[in-house]
Amino acid sequence: MNHHTVVVGYNTSPSSTEAVLWAAAEATARSVNLCVIACYDMPLDAALPPSWTSTDVVDRVIDAVAQPAGAMKKLIHERYPELHVDMQVSPGPATQILHHDLQPSDLMVVGSNSHGFASGYWLGSTARAVVRHSPCPVVVIRGAASRGRPDRIVVGVDGSDSSAKALIWAADEADLHGVELAVVHSWFYPYLGVDTHAAQARELTQIDAACVLEESVESARERCGVTVTAVLVEDGPGSALLGVVKDGDLLVLGSRGRGAIASSLLGSTVNNVLDEAAVPVVVVR
């Protein structure tokens, strides 16, 4: 796999179709290759007709995946005739195949459906698993997102190293598409009170938050040439970001890379946003 490749998973679902079309548009904008990986799982022996051999099973499963994959490749060539597309059909599981051989300079794109069951919460969807293990930024697509370039890039910052890396990625992406970059920082004073000391403490918390935001905005303006706006929100980080984004945005987050169980028990801004956001979300590890 070449460096600077846009890699996308495809399983014929509506969300993965949107992911492939989004990835094709992004690869075209970046002038890089697109790699589409269609994964398949072998059925259990108990579910097979008794007359089938193992060869029959493999051939039929591959055909069932290869036909829609071929149709998707044709659609991509019709929309983006200059784009080089590498279509791969690989045995699953997708959570292992998709992030195999990725480089930090690549971009991984996956579709995600809503998952409200306990198993999805504890074990994680394919999208969550890829986000946890990918060495490169991951874009999670939910809903119709393949219309072309984003209207705006929105990035959440909190002064950490991970958010600084997300800010760099977001600034470069805003420059690539020539769109506005909105830098969002949230703050929250958790104590209630009406005395002078509480009011002063709350004001200092807000001032500290404004300083963090101002520093991030200045860094972004030094890196990119597009309009950079500052958004300071009094709310939790996940709620703040979800309240700012609107249809057509691309939302960018940094991730500290906590494990699945820790994220479930302690709460994760990334997981919360992935569950609730209706726009494409980029997670930069």
- pLDDT of the residue at 50: 62
**Is the domain of 83 the same as that of 215?**
no
**Is the domain of 77 the same as that of 217?**
no
DSSP-H helix ranges across 31-53 = none
172 vs 178: CA distance, rounded Å: 10
Residue with the larger pLDDT of the pair 188 and 157: 157
- pLDDT of the residue at 125: 72
**Is the domain of 131 the same as that of 195?**
no
**Is the domain of 284 the same as that of 154?**
yes
**Is the domain of 106 the same as that of 201?**
no
* Residue appearing with tokens 């949230």: 186
Residue with the larger pLDDT of the pair 197 and 156: 156
**Is the domain of 171 the same as that of 139?**
no
Supply the CATH number for residue 187's domain: 3.40.50.620
pLDDT tens, residue by residue, 202-215: 889 999 999 999 99
Where is the domain boundary, 94, 117, 145? 145
Provide the number of structural domains found in the chain. 2
DSSP string over 232-258: EEES-HHHHHHHH--TTEEEEEE----
**Is the domain of 2 the same as that of 48?**
yes
Residue range of the domain that includes 102:
1-145
Confidence bin at 280 (pLDDT 50/70/90) = very high
pLDDT at 80 exceeding the cut of 70 = yes
- pLDDT of the residue at 61: 58
**Is the domain of 190 the same as that of 259?**
yes
- pLDDT of the residue at 118: 35
Where is the domain boundary, 145, 169, 191? 145
**Is the domain of 64 the same as that of 162?**
no
- pLDDT of the residue at 189: 79
pLDDT at 4 exceeding the cut of 90 = no
Work out the percent of the chain whose per-residue pLDDT is above 70: 77
pLDDT at 120 exceeding the cut of 70 = no
Task: Check if the beta carbon of residue 95 is closer than 8 Å to that of residue 130.
Answer: yes
Chain centre distance of CA 245: 14
Work out the percent of the chain whose per-residue pLDDT is above 90: 53
**Is the domain of 107 the same as that of 3?**
yes
* Average pLDDT of span 29-51: 73
- pLDDT of the residue at 255: 85
**Is the domain of 180 the same as that of 234?**
yes
**Is the domain of 140 the same as that of 154?**
no
pLDDT at 284 exceeding the cut of 70 = yes
Where is the domain boundary, 102, 128, 145? 145
Helix (H, G, I), strand (E, B) or coil at 35: strand
pLDDT at 73 exceeding the cut of 70 = yes
269 vs 236: CA distance, rounded Å: 9
- pLDDT of the residue at 271: 85
